[in-house]
Structure formats: C-alpha cells, structure tokens
Chains A and B, each alone.
Chain A
Amino acid sequence: GENVEQHPSTLSVQEGDSAVIKCTYSDSASNYFPWYKQELGKRPQLIIDIRSNVGEKKDQRIAVTLNKTAKHFSLHITETQPEDSAVYFCAASSESGGYNKLIFGAGTRLAVHP
C-alpha cells in the first residue's frame, strides 16, 4: 500500500545552522506534498506545500524540493531559530476512488539549540 518514509526521526542543530528533512513516497501517482509543523501540545499546521508540476518552492527561510523520478522530497530550513523547534511531518497524496487522502510520514523532532 501507500507509504511515506521520513528521516531523520530526530534532528538537533545549533541556532543559525540549516536543517534538512527527507521523505520518500511509494505511490507514483502522488501529486501533492505538504509539510506540517506541530509544536508541543498543539495541532499540526501547514508550513509549505508543493505540487508535482514544480521542482522547488521557497518561502523565506523554508524551501521544499521534489524529485518525482526518485520519489523523494525534502524540507530545508535555513538560519534556524529556537522557535523552529517542533515536530515536522511530510505527507504525500494518495488517490483512492477519485479522491486524495494524505499519507503522513512518522515525523521529525527538530531541536534548535541557542
């Protein structure tokens, strides 16, 4: 069945460094790839998304790249700040009966140390 693998499960960086989280997906028909951030005890919130007709998208300090051939996509956070500390989830769409369901990765716990 459809599956999304996410690495690493934990990531610790110093403030100002970059952080990279990688995901691979199994459904070659996937066409939508969002990233969600979940702060401790809070709900997941969308931070950036990319569609299959685009290879890269940037929004200030965050960027996402997509390689459809290899079926992997990555989240890049530059100039990390302590408030970037959270769990990040990647997701990939998977079609079922004409409708997309979002399959999430297991999450990456990012810790940014001052």
Chain B
Amino acid sequence: DSGVTQTPKHLITATGQRVTLRCSPRSGDLSVYWYQQSLDQGLQFLIQYYNGEERAKGNILERFSAQQFPDLHSELNLSSLELGDSALYFCASSARDGKTLNTGELFFGEGSRLTVL
C-alpha cells in the first residue's frame, strides 16, 4: 500500500460526459502528480501541483482540468469525453517539492480506470 488513495477505481461513462477523479496523497506529501496510461502505453504526464498551486504542466488537453485543495487532495476533471480518453489515470504524490535538484520518489495510487463508451 503506497498510502495514495484514488477513487473511483473503475468508471464507465458515455462520450460527451464529464467525470471527476479524486486523489488523496500520502500523509504529509505536498506534491501531487497526474498521469494517463492508455492501453499498453507509457505514462503520460498531465499536471503537477505543489501545496495547492499548479507547478508543471504536460500535454494536458483543454478539456481536462485539475486542482489541489487546501487539505491537499486533488481532483482531475475530464469533460466532453471521447473514446480515446479511455485509460488508466494515476495520481502520485511525493514528499519533495519537485523543484530542480529536489525531485524524488513518486508514490503511485492504484489508478482510476476510465472507460468511455
């Protein structure tokens, strides 16, 4: 158990819909990262938050948004869903702030598997 909790574990929805994925980081971790893993694909970096503020951004679609709340949990919102958005979405947390020269181990949650029909 990594200490990172993601809900829901599985989600099935239709094209055009909107979903919210939730992540609770390990106790004390201020950094949260979101990654997308499509079938047999690598881990695509979406976005990073540190202590409530966005710090780094990857190839995140405009239809996707995220935020980190004062209690440090994070949510990833996916809207106008398309078939290609079907994937496993991982949240990871880190004890480090992620600044240059201060990057360390990421602890991944079990992932939220999204299926868009």
Contact = CB atoms under 8 A, between A and B. Distances in A.
A89 B56 contact: no
Nearest to A105: B42
A43 B108 contact: yes
Interface in A93-114: 93, 95-107
Interface residues of B, number: 29
Contacts of B108: 43-45
B52 interface: no
Nearest to B46: A101
The secondary structure that dominates the B interface is loop
Contact of B41 (A34, A93, A106): A106
Interface in A62-94: 89, 91, 93
Contact of A99 (B55, B105, B110): B55
Given A31-B100, A32-B103, A43-B110, A101 B42 contact: no
A101 B90 contact: no
A93 B42 CA distance: 15
B109 A101 contact: no
Contact of B55 (A45, A97, A107): A97
Interface of B: 2, 33, 35, 41-45, 48, 50, 55-58, 90, 97-106, 108-111
Interface of A: 6, 31-32, 34, 42-46, 49, 89, 91, 93, 95-107
